[in-house]
Amino acid sequence: MKRITLTAALVAAAIVPAGPVAVATAAGPTASSAATKKPAKKKATKKKKKVTNFTVCRRGCPFSSIQKAVDAAPAGATVKIKPGTYTEGVDVKDTKDNLKIIGLGTKPEEVVLEGKGAKRPDGNPAQNGIFVDGADNVEMRNITAQNFPANGFFVRNCDGYVMDRLIAGFNRAYGLYAFNCIGGRMTYSKGFGHGDSAFYIGQTPFQEKPKPSLISHVEGYENVLGYSGTNSKYVTIQFSEFYNNGAGVAPNTLGSEKFPPAQDGKVTDNLVYWNNFNYFKAGSKVKPLPAATGSFQYPTGVGIVLLGTTNWDIRANLVFGNFKWGIMTVSDPTYAPATNRNNKVRFNVMGAAYDDANGTDVWNDGAGSGNCWENQSAGTTYDAGALPQPLLYPGCNNPQNATDLTQVAEVADYLTKTEAQEESWKKHPHPPRADRTPIDGQGG
């Protein structure tokens, strides 16, 4: 999750005169200059050829290893990778600002970083497909990273990054992962089979003039979480699909990372559906990492979760077919920064509009201040607590919030369960969708 410096060496050649220095006088040349020796020949020095081609392939290219090409390339260069499978992990040091690592296939599946048996440059097992440690504005495009013990594509301690047209599959923790960075883009990519989330932006530093981060046109499926971002800030998630995960989209505030809370984010114009993956079941191909929420498990059967967020806008999403809750908002009473404040849930199209109901469309524990719900689609259902609905789910004109202890007890009970979370789901068949098959409680 976190920087180094490259220096260039300059070599100066000194030319020594072939004989003693002759001093001229008014009378004429000196005696030594009269017997001039034949000057010695200069030794020819071979100029080192500058490397400008950083293309990688198995045979016939300047480099047969992506790591060697990255090590040789200066900041701002482009490393091009021809189609093939490369069993290696790639480390990009902080001296490589603006480096580009580009797969040359017609699609990302043609350039594969394989984690099984992959090694780091020091000979130890590789943990990540590509790990960018402190370099700014590194671009990664058109590549697949799979089966790594940690992450597919991982950047940390950076100012800007581009992850575009990538595929991350069955890495142990995260697919596309940005930590302690400001600004950046994850676009047109897929992530599946992860023990935490397919897409993650976390520990975003506070900024007076924020550089936004963008997640757009991505697909996250068959993960514990489609998107997760602990203490993430200035993030927009848009025009994407999150389906067949345990939970679809989950910005959150936790004490495990710096710079709480998660704040100033948008989740807009996404499809969030069928997030009913019960990965707790025996035989699941996805093994969840230990939950960062301590004694509480992550929820399954949920579309969008706000855990202790501040000033997030959940707007114009299509949320359907999630068997527990469509959108849930919950605070952590044991950690003050993780209290929901000033979040807006507006203009979302919920299950009934798709003839594919959520268990309940909207759930809230009532905690925090300034949170509001309004203008969801017709037929939207609200999970009833002890408080009247206008107080538990107020509109956005001067909202007043109050904790509902009935709701708190309900969610606490739900999150202490693992596989048995499924027992309270409201299940039903889904209308078919092209090229999509629901998981619906299966473990694999």
pLDDT tens readout for residues 163-190: 999 999 999 999 999 999 999 999 999 9
Predicted local distance difference test score (pLDDT) of residue 290: 87
Rounded to the nearest 10 degrees, how much is the dihedral formed by the CA atoms of 229, 234, 239, 241?
Answer: 0
Query: E strands, 134-257, where?
Result: 138-146, 151-156, 161-169, 174-179, 184-187, 190-192, 197-202, 213-216, 219-221, 225-230, 235-238, 241-243, 247-252
Q: List, for residues 195-247, the tens digit of each pLDDT value.
A: 999 999 999 999 999 999 999 999 999 999 999 999 999 999 999 999 999 99
What is the predicted pLDDT for the residue at 44? 55
pLDDT tens string 314-330: 999 999 999 999 999 99
User: What is the mean predicted confidence (pLDDT) over 7-12?
Assistant: 32
Range of the domain at 346: 173-424
Instruction: For residue 340, tell me if it sits in a domain.
Output: yes
The verdict on residue 85 lying in a domain is no
How high is the mean pLDDT of the chain? 90
Using alpha carbons, select from 246, 255, 213, 235 the residue that is nearest to residue 339: 255
Phi–psi pair at 41, nearest 5 degrees: -70, 140
- From residue 394, alpha-carbon distances to 105, 223, 302, 398 in Å are 51, 33, 21, 8
Q: What confidence tens digit (pLDDT) does each residue in 38-49 have?
A: 445 555 555 666
Inside any domain, residue 286: yes
- For 307, the token pair is 């855990």
Report, as an integer, the average pLDDT of 302-320. Answer: 98
150 band by pLDDT with thresholds 50, 70 and 90? very high
Q: What is the pLDDT of residues 407-428, one digit of tens each?
A: 999 999 999 999 999 999 999 9
Number of domains in the chain: 1
- Predicted local distance difference test score (pLDDT) of residue 441: 87
Q: Is residue 235 part of a domain?
A: yes
Indicate the pTM of the whole model: 0.88
Residue whose token pair is 């806008």: 313
> CA dist 20 to 24, 34, 131, 280, 410, Å?
13, 12, 59, 87, 98
How confident is the model over 108-134, as a mean pLDDT?
Answer: 96
For residue 442, is it within any domain?
A: no
